[in-house]
Structure formats: C-alpha cells, structure tokens
Amino acid sequence: MRIDVVTIFPGYLDALDLSLVGKARRDGLLDLRVHDLRDWTTDRHRTVDDTPFGGGAGMVMRPDVWGRALDDVLGRTGGGDPAGRQVLLVPTPSGERLTQRTVEDLATVDQLVLACGRYEGIDARVAEHYADAGVEVREFSLGDYVLNGGEVAALVVVEAVARLLPGVVGNPQSLVEESHGAAGLLEYPVYTKPPAWAGREVPEILLSGHHGNIARWRRDLALERTAERRPDMVGTLDPADLDRRDRAV
Ligand SMILES: NC(=O)c1ccno1
C-alpha cells in the first residue's frame, strides 16, 4: 500500500518513522511518502493561503496550489491512468466520523492521499474537483472537536490503517478481540504479573486455566463494559448475545 501525506508541516509526520509503522516502511510493507505543499507554490514567498471570499476570520488554503500538488501525487499530471483504487482523505471537523469499519476499508486501498489543511481549511472546490474527476474523496473527522490542522488526524489514520496491513502486527490474533472489532464490543480488561498489586488481586478465573470459562468471563466483561461506556454500541449487538450473558455461569 502507498500512503501520501501532503502538509505544510512535514516534520509533524516524523513520528511515522518510529515503532510498527516505521518498521513496516523499512520492511517494504508500507510505502509512505510525506510531501511539503509549499513545493507546489510558484511565488518567492511560497504562499499557500489567501483571505476568504465573503469575509470572515482567518485564511483559506488556495485551490491552485493544492491542485498542482494533488495532480502530481495522484499521478494525474502525466495523462496516464493511475493504477488501482485511490482515496483522497481530507481531515476536517466538518467531516464524517472516522470508524474502525472505515479504517478496515481504507486498509484495502491501493493509494491513500491525505490532504492536511491548516488555517480555516482548504478551498471547497478542491474536494469537489477531485470527486467530479472520479477520485473517491472522503472528508472525515476524528471526533467532535477541532484541531489546528489535519496532521494529527493523518497520523491517526496512518497508524490505524498500517496496523491492519498483513505482516505489520507480529501476532494477527491480537487484532481479533480488540475494541470495535467484528463483535462490535469494547475490549475486556487485561491483567499481567504480579498477581497481587496495591492490595488488588487478578480475577481468580484468569488463574484457573479453564479456557472456556475464561472466554465466557471475558465476553461478559466486554458486554458489561460496552453497555456501561458505549450504550450507543449496544443497539447494534445481537440480542441473543445480551441474553446469553444473563445466563452465563
Ligand atoms: N476533528 C478532526 O478530525 C479535525 C481535523 C482537523 N481539525 O479537526
């Protein structure tokens, strides 16, 4: 998979040289390219923004600069047809909420391009232009809060997607029972040595060695945690599951 990040702060993405994502890049599992939007400016001040039409505070990022950058990154300058499925992602507080289901879909894409806006955002014609040109455009939000730009959201997307790529996470089984997985639950609580700490004991069942009972206990705790913390998720569960918990031994 190829991921391109276009930003006026390339250094923000240095964290993607670290840990699992950094190793995936070095192992050739992920082709991650970070681009400085100012490389596509044409004036000596390398200007990327201007005042908003209609007035208002702040500045808006220019469509002509973004257009030159995205045409290059999307491989649309040479006239050839780019290979594979491309998705242009635009982080914005006005976007659709990013979910694990969306991340799982993005992990199957051939090329992701993240356009990191700053100031008041990117001229609306940019997303329109590429959508009309047949590019899959997704304006997405991490949550109901506002960041100073799209770079942090880009870090989140790259990490969330990269960890799903084959070979990136050491034990793929660790992806199975995570929060927001196929079961639609939050993950159960986890424990390790020492068995007693600060007067608190590890739940006895986890020391029993009875795998069936441990699995049932973990499922029950996942259901309980989900019902307590994310009642909105409970509505999507199979009622038989909730009923089964009530009958758990
Ligand atoms: N909430 C968000 O994802 C966001 C992106 C840029 N600013 O805020």
pLDDT digits (tens, 9 = 90+) for 220-234: 999 999 999 999 998
* Pocket residue to mutate for ligand 1, from 142, 144, 148, most atoms within 8 A of Cβ: 142
Mean pLDDT of the chain: 93
User: Residues 179-198: what's their mean pLDDT?
Assistant: 95
Same domain (yes/no): 46, 81: yes
Task: Give the pLDDT band of residue 79 (cuts 50, 70, 90).
Answer: low
Q: What are the pLDDT digits (tens) for 83-141?
A: 799 999 999 999 999 999 999 999 999 999 999 999 999 999 999 999 999 999 999 99
Q: Which of 7, 12, 92 to mutate to test the pocket of ligand 1 (most atoms within 8 A of CB)?
A: 92
Omega before 189 within 30 of 0, i.e. cis: no
Last residue within a domain, chosen from 138, 162, 186: 162
Domain identity same for 128 and 95? yes
pLDDT for residue 170:
87
pLDDT at 8 over 90: yes
Closest ligand 1 atom, CA of 142? 3
Task: Name residue 162's amino acid.
Answer: A
Give yes or no: residues 224 and 141 share one domain: no
Residue that finishes a domain, picked among 162, 195, 224 = 162
Looking at residue 218, which CATH number applies to its domain?
A: 1.10.1270.20
Q: Which of 69-78, 83-92, 124-133, 236-245 has the lowest mean pLDDT?
A: 236-245
Distance in Å from the first CA to the final CA of the chain: 46
Q: Are residues 138 and 244 in the same domain?
A: no
pLDDT of residue 235: 76
Q: Is the pLDDT of residue 248 over 50?
A: no
Whether 117 is in a domain gets the answer: yes
pLDDT one-digit tens code per residue, 24-45: 999 999 999 999 999 999 999 9
Would you say residue 207 lies in a domain?
Answer: yes
Looking at residue 75, its pLDDT comes to 95
What is the per-residue pLDDT for 78? 73
Of ligand 1's listed atoms, the one at least distance from the Cα of 117 is 6
For the segment 185-195, the average pLDDT, to the nearest whole number, is 97
Assess whether 77 and 45 both reside in one domain. Answer: yes
In a domain, 59, yes or no: yes
Would you say residue 171 lies in a domain?
no
Domain range spanning residue 216? Answer: 177-248
CATH code of residue 123: 3.40.1280.10
CA of 239 to the centre of ligand 1 (A): 35
Q: Which residues of 112-129 are buried (b: 16+ CB within 10 A; e: fewer)?
A: bbbbbbbbebbbeebbeb
148/234 same-domain check? no
Given a cut of 60, whether residue 249 has pLDDT beyond it is: no
In a domain, 168, yes or no: no
Task: Find how far residue 100's CA is from the centre of its chain.
Answer: 8
Number of domains in the chain: 2
Span 44-49, average pLDDT? 98
157/211 same-domain check: no
Q: What pLDDT is recorded for position 174? A: 83
Residue that terminates a domain, selected from 162, 187, 204:
162
- 180 φ/ψ sector (left φ>0, alpha ψ -120 to 50, else beta): left
Q: Residues 195, 202: contact at Cβ < 8 Å?
A: yes
Q: Which atom of ligand 1 is nearest to the CA of 140?
A: 3
118 and 15 in one domain? yes
CA atoms within 13 A on the CB side of 111: 17
Tell me, yes or no, whether 136 and 66 share the same domain.
yes
Per-residue pLDDT, 243:
58
Q: Please indicate, yes or no, whether residues 30 and 58 belong to a single structural domain of this protein.
A: yes
